[in-house]
Amino acid sequence: MGLPDTARDDQSAAYAARVDALRAQLAALPDGSPVRLAKRTSNLFRPRTAGGTGLDVSAFDHVLRVDPHARTAEVEGMVTYERLVDATLPHGLMPLVVPQLKTITLGGAVTGLGIESSSFRNGMPHESVLDMDILTGDGEILHVTPGNEHRDLFFSFPNSYGTLGYALRLTIELEPVRPYVRLEHVRFSDARQFFARLDRACREREADFVDGTVFGPAEMYLTLGTFTGEAPFTSDYTWLDIYYQSIRERDVDYLPVRDYLWRWDTDWFWCSRALGVQNRLVRLLVGPRLLRSDVYWKVVAFERRHQVLGRIQRALGKPDTESVVQDIEVPVQKATTFLDFFHREIPISPVWVCPLRQRDGRRWPLYELDPDTLYVNFGFWATVPLEHGRPQGSHNRLIERTVTELGGRKSLYSESFYDRETFWRLYNGETYQALKRRYDPRGRLLDLYGKCVEAR
């Protein structure tokens, strides 16, 4: 059951009080000063210069209502997916797309895009949003729906990364779950066969979840996940055992649904190995409480600020490295071409693969995909050696050019290197600037190019 009327009224009143306090906080900021969120954690991987006034929206972290009959949830923008999932699973429901990391917020996933193994049938998180309350740079709180006078903001909010406003409250669709997920890991040694099988699995809806892991040019695994009411056994990848390693070891596996949704978080996919915590003794000493993506992110953020390991490597005479942290998607027909390029030019392994298709034909102007096309997302996150004389960004720029040539798109959560003209051509600068003039005429919020490329 959902909340009783009295509890619902209390939640609404508390939300209204938080809105009033936030509006007052914004009004008290120096006139004309740029505004950005003051966040304790982040899942973005791009540097930024200091400056701007932090707007504290941390109070907007409540699940206001779960309606099991309508299969909807009313949620504030700073609610993490971990908290959201914990609120919906007792009702036998989950968000249509649950991004891989526990501390990604709902508002962040909608304005900055998100993807997971249900995306071949449910698209991205913003496609299951029914309405939003958005705080604009002028301090207005706008109720935004697909059909009201602010529909232009509704459809252009995804991929705006807080430069058109901040989502304070969202209503989203939910879908039913079963207690367990059965996993089948199918190995391939040929990329064409791998992507042909992935395409078929998505077209024919062979499973509820589809993703893949590429360990090398001749070792690829397609993982098909299917809801089930019973499990002959269940595995545990929340502490000592490591999920991505099990893909090579097990043909079939079973996980409780909550553990499936967070299967990647314990080891930040595989990035925890760079931090030394895949050693079994270390895991035993650290314990499951600290084996989380947000803990790893803080370690990486500390290294970015202080360059401790970087200074040690330079002192030892090791070559410079370049950070290559990206998620891109190309049409499935171009996936083999991209993977061949990647293996040839970028020495990173493993690589995550996730199919994606829009749910319907609606247009999302700042991140347009062909609704009739199945795309393949490639996620890769590591540092690579930088040859002597090559400038920082060389590998990233090469990836950006290749993705564009293949008719793909790149997510903007990490560093980008586009020149201004190319960026606005790819991300619909004409529409964006019109929205900026309407909803942030005084320029209180950052500009998308300045935020994502110039790291302001």
What is the per-residue pLDDT for 258? 98
Q: CB-based contacts of 31: which residues, under 8 Å, 6+ apart?
A: none
What is the per-residue pLDDT for 313? 64
Say how far apart CA 415 and CA 51 lie, in whole Å. 18
Q: Which of 50-54, 183-187, 338-342, 406-410 has the lowest mean pLDDT?
A: 50-54
Say how far apart CA 242 and CA 142 lie, in whole Å. 44
Answer for the pair 418, 400: CB distance below 8 angstroms, yes or no: yes
Of residues 48 and 82, more confidence is placed in 82
* CATH of region 5-177+444-452, choose from 3.90.1150.10, 2.60.40.10, 3.30.110.40, 3.30.465.10: 3.30.465.10
Nearest 5 degrees, angle CA 295-CA 297-CA 303? 110
Chain mean position to CA 443 = 26
Q: Which of 3-12, 188-197, 289-298 has the lowest mean pLDDT?
A: 3-12
> Which whole number is the average pLDDT over 47-60?
73
Nearest 5 degrees, angle CA 378-CA 380-CA 381? 155
For the record, the structure tokens of 266 come out as: 């314990």
What is the tens place of the pLDDT at every residue in 416-442? 999 999 999 999 999 999 999 999 998
Residue 52: pLDDT over 60: no
CA distances to 32, 35, 71, 96 from 440, in Å: 11, 11, 34, 31
Say how far apart CA 71 and CA 156 lie, in whole Å. 25
Answer for the pair 342, 350: CB distance below 8 angstroms, yes or no: no
What is the per-residue pLDDT for 40? 61
Is the alpha carbon torsion for 327, 137, 431, 145 positive or negative? positive
Euclidean distance between the first and final Cα of the chain, in Å?
46
**Mean pLDDT over each residue of the chain, to the nearest integer:** 92
> Beta strand pairing status for 53-55 and 35-37?
parallel
Q: CB-based contacts of 295: which residues, under 8 Å, 6+ apart?
A: none
What is the per-residue pLDDT for 317? 64
Q: Band the pLDDT of 99: cuts 50, 70, 90.
A: very high
Q: Residue 392 corresponds to which amino acid?
A: Q
Residue 45: pLDDT over 60: no
Peptide bond into 355 cis (omega under 30): no
What is the tens place of the pLDDT at every residue in 319-353? 789 999 999 999 999 999 999 999 999 999 999 99
What is the per-residue pLDDT for 30? 79
Answer for the pair 166, 77: CB distance below 8 angstroms, yes or no: yes
What is the tens place of the pLDDT at every residue in 141-173? 999 999 999 999 999 999 999 999 999 999 999
What is the tens place of the pLDDT at every residue in 111-121? 999 999 999 99
What is the tens place of the pLDDT at every residue in 194-240? 999 999 999 999 999 999 999 999 999 999 999 999 999 999 999 99
